[in-house]
Structure 1
């Protein structure tokens, strides 16, 4: 069976909507030619309008044209991504249901919560679609105007400064653990159920600081409702060019990036996995997609294969596990 190709009209429509130029047809093994045979679902481990949802909708537009079948987005927030994983794994493992979620679904969530899935046996990363880091933000009324002033301020109040995170046991907490050790301070952690309530308390002055994702903090930083002190990323974030990295202010160990990716059950046929990967990576490399990602404060995903992504996730898992063990963390 010949693979259905996007028509010229469809290519023009997609280019006009997203600024994307569809790639040339990619080869696929004969037994993968029949896929997809029905609607493809991208399950999102987050709410409508969130980072993953926005990325999923961009990808769904391109994949609909490239695959010749409708691709829809379905939000399944909650449980630090575990609910979305459950939706993925309970669907037929034929490639018609995929998951878009952060890499922390295997390197953080299974350590923070008691989950019903094995992160490295049940899930397989297919394509990285965006990269980002966490940012240390504070209430703009704090006397510290930059990172060096903030560090001096924290040291002047030993044991009196708290920091928030979007969930206990996740990277937002363990970055604070790292910072305490490397800077020789002793901030206390306050965990929340998601970024919005934590950010409200930071802006309200109830908790002075927070390690948060750029997707939720960036609009508030730009509006002057939060002050950004440093980003945990290998380089400066284009959307915050004046905010240094932790490496620049003397903490090179705090530069681990996070990423968003497409995931499948590990037993989906290899040829279908490859077809999804090829189509996704072709869209991710287009200028229109890249511009959307940059506007959200992120970098474009890297064209890594499943083996490299799994290796990166495993290393992140081990680092996170060591940090949580060191503070005696017990998952909920």
Structure 2
């Protein structure tokens, strides 16, 4: 049985409790509504989440003829978009494209995240998996994690790394990686990937950590070097990236996700209709390639498996936070 099959089995068993709360059940076949459809995105235009949402919106227009609008509700680490979803009509005209870096991570790292995973959003379907990467500046001349570890020992005053968000899973991943290689790393917070990338390319900071979707194209262009990837397997669209299990640190492996949510109270039939339509869009060869190019490991799943994956990841992120020596704030 493959690693992915093993994960599927575990997720299915984890899903029973999640589904009881969500009340997702078989319903008569429905179709998504026509007219104007809105996709909420919790981040500014031009970022990885927005770009993927627009690719998907284009395919939805092509397949359905609907007027599909991507609506950026940026701010508060994605919570503003969730708040808009909570207040959205339940007729299927509004959905949200979200990431575990918001929905799961904020649930784990904040005492009062401003939303409830169980009450304020309904999982519709998984779009794909995303991984955390640890990168180095090309200015320091290292190409592997072993090289970087040796470089740190020669430069004991350079043990800092930039993170795209303090108190996030990417921050914790780098802290745990430092512990694993025996050279503790100290985080420097940045307001997103763009300023961190700028400092990495200029050599103002020697290392950084964030989502693969933020760094892949820059790695491919030689502007930064990815030396560790949290994915459970080598990625078919980026096979050169070394995964942590191959580097001797399998306990650091994890994957986040991107997927779609509906507002609370959306009818099960509409949830299923949207799930099927989004699955068909995402699995079309041209869209799949575009999503691969952004760094998304495309994997579709319906409401049940999506809910189960979310439940499992809450536990995983919580464990990561505690091992990194942090607690909810």
**TM bucket by the smaller chain?**
0.7 to 0.9
Tell me how far apart the structure 1 counterparts of residues 188 and 119 of structure 2 sit (CA, whole Å): 32
Correspondence for 1:320: 317
Structure 1 residue 46: Cα displacement: 1.9
Stretches of structure 2 lacking an aligned partner (at least 5 in a row): 1-26
**What's the CA shift string for 1:227-264, capped at 9, x where partnerless?**
22121111223443322111111111222122211111
Pairing 1:105–2:102 present: yes
Q: Report the count of equivalent residues.
A: 302
Is the deviation greater in 52-61 or in 257-266? Answer: 52-61
CA contact (8 A) 2:139 2:201 kept: no
Q: TM-score, normalised by structure 2?
A: 0.84
Is the deviation greater in 269-278 or in 175-184? Answer: 175-184
| Larger relative helix fraction | 2
Structure 2 residue matching 1:313: 3-state secondary structure: helix
Correspondence for 2:28: 29
Within 5 A, what are the aligned runs for 1:69-80?
69-80=66-77
Tell me how far apart the structure 2 counterparts of residues 317 and 259 of structure 1 sit (CA, whole Å): 12
Within 5 A, what are the aligned runs for 1:84-95?
84-95=81-92
Correspondence for 2:136: 138
Correspondence for 1:192: 190
Structure 1 residue matching 2:52: 3-state secondary structure: helix
Stretches of structure 1 lacking an aligned partner (at least 5 in a row): 1-27
Match of 1:309 among 301, 306, 309: 306
CA contact (8 A) 2:164 2:192 kept: yes
Correspondence for 1:241: 239
Tell me how far apart the structure 1 counterparts of residues 63 and 198 of structure 2 sit (CA, whole Å): 41
CA contact (8 A) 2:103 2:117 kept: yes
Structure with the greater relative contact order (CA < 8 A, sep ≥ 6): 1 or 2?
2
Correspondence for 1:63: 60
Structure 2 residue matching 1:46: 3-state secondary structure: coil
Within 5 A, what are the aligned runs for 1:1-332?
29=28, 32=30, 35-36=32-33, 38-113=35-110, 114-158=112-156, 160-302=158-300, 304-326=301-323, 327-331=325-329
Cα RMSD between the aligned structures? 2.3
Correspondence for 1:18: none
Which entry has the higher C-alpha Rg, 1 or 2? 1
CA contact (8 A) 1:233 1:254 kept: no
Structure 2 residue matching 1:141: 3-state secondary structure: helix
